[in-house]
């Protein structure tokens, strides 16, 4: 039997922007380690923060950027690398001839695959928008269902309150460049909508610790519980709420749909969320959602712009619109209207959408990696 020192090491990494890729990596890594796969995490930013705070997912957590000299040695001593949408470490591993496995939840919106993804030994694609813009160009592609923690819905009579999820509220440049305008806009609109009275004070807002610290300072007596939570804690909050109001990040969206939780949507924080919300609206499960283009009707078509410019343009729209009093009133009115309607039919449609995406992707991905590296 192989000991810890003789087992082959599988390096793991995740795209360092946003919580979604890191969350998916942690779900898969827990399965790998529990099955005896020796895992080492390499990364920085949000992904490293989450990996370092998650017990049981990795044998070793190393803070590293792709340009750090020691990364070459870690790659050289590993048997392979699993990437959750990160392309930089994947490129380094491929340059050393290591087998690279990639999982991607945004293939449907990519105009072209990053080079490391096209060369991956296995490329798992999470289903979401079957008519997306991208044509798959990897012969080793396997489609999978939602990459989320399998959980059963909480019975309706055990749910209460509203959970507002802002995600990380971060920019690719990290917390030092964080734009507080989004969190401030959501908080002011929520208070103006009368939600605190509707839910009798049972409202919890989840966000990254930088945003929470600023919200606590700006709204000391808001009547809303402001929390930073681990992923497991966030799932507990989301799973027991009467309804959820969330930024349209794909991971939280699918988690809520799995719970059959009536889910309403905040405006997008970046380009991928812009595309996700648009698809949800076209699918009839995000109707009535407030979007930045309602205030900026002549907003340029993002898909006609270079990919590098799109998120910056969305952030610019947030900064401009969030300071607009009319926009805040429109958001509050739309929220008030949504919270006043019976959400039962919406929750059913959202759960059906989730089920249409196929079997849980964590099982498929972890299963192949375990057979290969254990």
* pLDDT confidence bin for 4, thresholds 50/70/90: low
Which of 172-186, 208-222, 285-299 is predicted with the least confidence, judged by mean pLDDT?
172-186
pLDDT tops 60 at residue 171? no
**309-349 per-position pLDDT tens digit:** 777 777 777 777 777 888 889 999 999 888 888 888 999 99
The pLDDT assigned to 176 comes to 44
The pLDDT assigned to 327 comes to 87
Strands 60-63 and 38-43: parallel
Q: What is the average pLDDT value for the chain, to the nearest integer?
A: 88
| Biggest CA pair distance of the chain | 67
Domains and their CATH numbers in the chain: 9-146+358-373 (3.40.50.2000), 156-356 (3.40.50.2000)
Arithmetic mean of pLDDT, 271-289: 89
Residue where the block lists tokens 């030994």: 121
Dig out the tokens for 233 from the structure. 């804690």
pTM metric for this prediction: 0.88
Dig out the tokens for 235 from the structure. 């799932």
The pLDDT assigned to 96 comes to 96
Arithmetic mean of pLDDT, 169-187: 65
* pLDDT confidence bin for 271, thresholds 50/70/90: confident
Q: Are 239 and 254 in contact (CB under 8 A)?
A: no
pLDDT tops 60 at residue 170? no
Question: 270 or 282: which carries more pLDDT confidence?
Answer: 282
What is residue 171's DSSP assignment?
Answer: -
**40-94 per-position pLDDT tens digit:** 999 998 889 888 888 889 999 999 999 999 999 999 999 999 999 999 999 999 9
**Tally of CB atoms within 10 A around 307:** 13
Arithmetic mean of pLDDT, 354-364: 94
């Amino acid at each position: 039997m192989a000991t810890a020192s003789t087992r082959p090491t599988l390096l793991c990494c995740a795209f360092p922007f946003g919580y979604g890729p890191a969350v998916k990596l942690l779900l898969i890594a827990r399965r790998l380690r529990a099955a005896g796969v020796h895992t080492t995490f390499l990364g920085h930013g949000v992904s490293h923060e989450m990996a370092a705070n998650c017990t049981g997912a990795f044998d070793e957590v190393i803070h590293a950027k792709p340009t750090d000299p020691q990364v070459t040695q870690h790659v050289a001593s590993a048997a392979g690398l699993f990437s959750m949408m990160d392309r930089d470490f994947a490129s380094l591993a491929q340059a050393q001839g290591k087998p690279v496995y990639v999982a991607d939840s945004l293939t449907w919106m990519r105009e072209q695959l990053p080079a490391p993804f096209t060369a991956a030994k296995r490329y798992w694609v999470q289903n979401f928008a079957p008519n997306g813009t991208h044509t798959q160009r990897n012969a080793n592609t396997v489609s999978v269902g939602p990459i989320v923690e399998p959980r059963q819905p909480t019975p309706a009579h055990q749910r209460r309150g509203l959970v507002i999820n802002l995600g990380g509220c971060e920019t690719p440049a990290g917390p030092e460049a964080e734009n507080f305008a989004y969190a401030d806009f959501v908080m002011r609109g929520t208070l103006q909508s009368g939600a605190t009275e509707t839910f009798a004070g049972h409202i919890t807002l989840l966000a990254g610790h930088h945003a929470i610290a600023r919200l606590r300072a700006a709204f000391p007596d808001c009547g809303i519980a402001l929390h930073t939570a681990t992923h497991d804690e966030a799932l507990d909050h989301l799973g027991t709420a009467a309804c959820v109001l969330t930024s349209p990040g794909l991971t939280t969206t699918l988690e809520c749909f799995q719970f059959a939780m009536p889910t309403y949507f905040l405006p997008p924080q970046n380009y991928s969320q812009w595309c996700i919300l648009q698809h949800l609206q076209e699918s009839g499960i995000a109707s009535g959602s407030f979007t930045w283009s309602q205030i900026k009707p002549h907003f340029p078509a993002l898909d006609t712009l270079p990919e590098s410019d799109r998120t910056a343009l969305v952030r610019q729209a947030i900064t401009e619109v969030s300071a607009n009093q009319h926009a805040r009133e429109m958001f509050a009115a739309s929220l008030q209207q949504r919270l006043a309607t019976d959400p039962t039919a919406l929750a059913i449609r959202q759960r059906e959408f989730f089920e249409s995406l196929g079997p849980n992707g964590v099982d498929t991905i972890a299963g192949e990696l375990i057979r290969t590296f254990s």
